[in-house]
A and B are shown apart, each in its own frame.
Chain A
Amino acid sequence: DSGVTQTPKHLITATGQRVTLRCSPRSGDLSVYWYQQSLDQGLQFLIQYYNGEERAKGNILERFSAQQFPDLHSELNLSSLELGDSALYFCASSVGRGGKLGGYTFGSGTRLTVV
């Protein structure tokens, strides 16, 4: 157990729907990062939060949004889902703003299947 908790582990939904993925960072970590992993695109950085504030944006679609709450858990919202959104979504956390010294701790991911 890495200490980063992601729920749900698996999600199957239909095209056009909206889903919410949840992440609880490791105790003491203030930064949360979201990644999308698919066979054709590899590991893609989506967005980063530090202590409730957005720090960096990557290849995140406009249909996707995220936030980090006062208790530091984070949610990734995916809307108007398309078949191509099927992927593994990972959350990671770090103590500081960027994980320079310690790297990131990853959760086990949410596998999203859009049918």
Chain B
Amino acid sequence: AQSVTQLGSHVSVSEGALVLLRCNYSSSVPPYLFWYVQYPNQGLQLLLKYTTGATLVKGINGFEAEFKKSETSFHLTKPSAHMSDAAEYFCAVWGFQGAQKLVFGQGTRLTINP
């Protein structure tokens, strides 16, 4: 069973447009969810995380994500894309099938068109 599914390996938006990157997860227990960003030739950097509490989570660089239990989703959004947002984005879930570690999705490459 797939633990984390990121819909769309490539997403392209215009500068100033809404960014929406989709992530669905499989988990039989309350999930701990994360979004990471990887800029070219760099390591992964934590954008935001959901552990408990408020389901709308705000992260760095104007990104936010909403945990929706009924939809098993944790989509990442940003109201207005900037050229500097071009990067690869990874969704991750902790604890899938009892494993005490993060499991990452396949990543979504975000391209920003001027």
Contact = CB atoms under 8 A, between A and B. Distances in A.
B104 A43 contact: yes
B44 interface: yes
A98 B101 contact: yes
B43 to A, nearest CB: 4
Label chain B's interface by main secondary structure: strand
Interface residues of A, number: 24
A100 B45 contact: no
Given A98-B94, A99-B94, A33 B101 contact: yes
Given A42-B106, A42-B107, A43-B90, A100 B46 contact: no
Instruction: Kindly name the residue among B42, B94, B101 whose own CB sees the greatest number of chain A CB atoms within 10 A.
Output: B101
Main secondary structure on A side of the interface with B: loop
A107 interface: yes
A106 B106 contact: no
Contacts of A102: 49
Interface in A16-65: 33, 42-43, 45, 48, 55-56
A102 B101 CA distance: 11
Contacts of B34: 103
B51 interface: yes
B100 A100 contact: yes
Interface residues of B, number: 22
Contacts of A43: 44, 90, 104, 106-107
Given A43-B107, A100-B51, A103-B49, 17 more contacts: A2-B45, A42-B106, A45-B103, A45-B104, A55-B100, A90-B43, A90-B44, A97-B100, A99-B101, A100-B100, A101-B51, A103-B34, A103-B92, A104-B44, A106-B43, A107-B43, A108-B43
21 contacts: A2-B43, A2-B45, A4-B43, A42-B106, A45-B104, A55-B101, A56-B99, A56-B101, A97-B100, A98-B102, A100-B51, A100-B95, A100-B100, A101-B32, A101-B51, A102-B49, A103-B46, A103-B102, A104-B46, A104-B102, A108-B42
Interface of B: 32, 34, 36, 42-46, 49, 51, 90, 92, 94-95, 99-104, 106-107
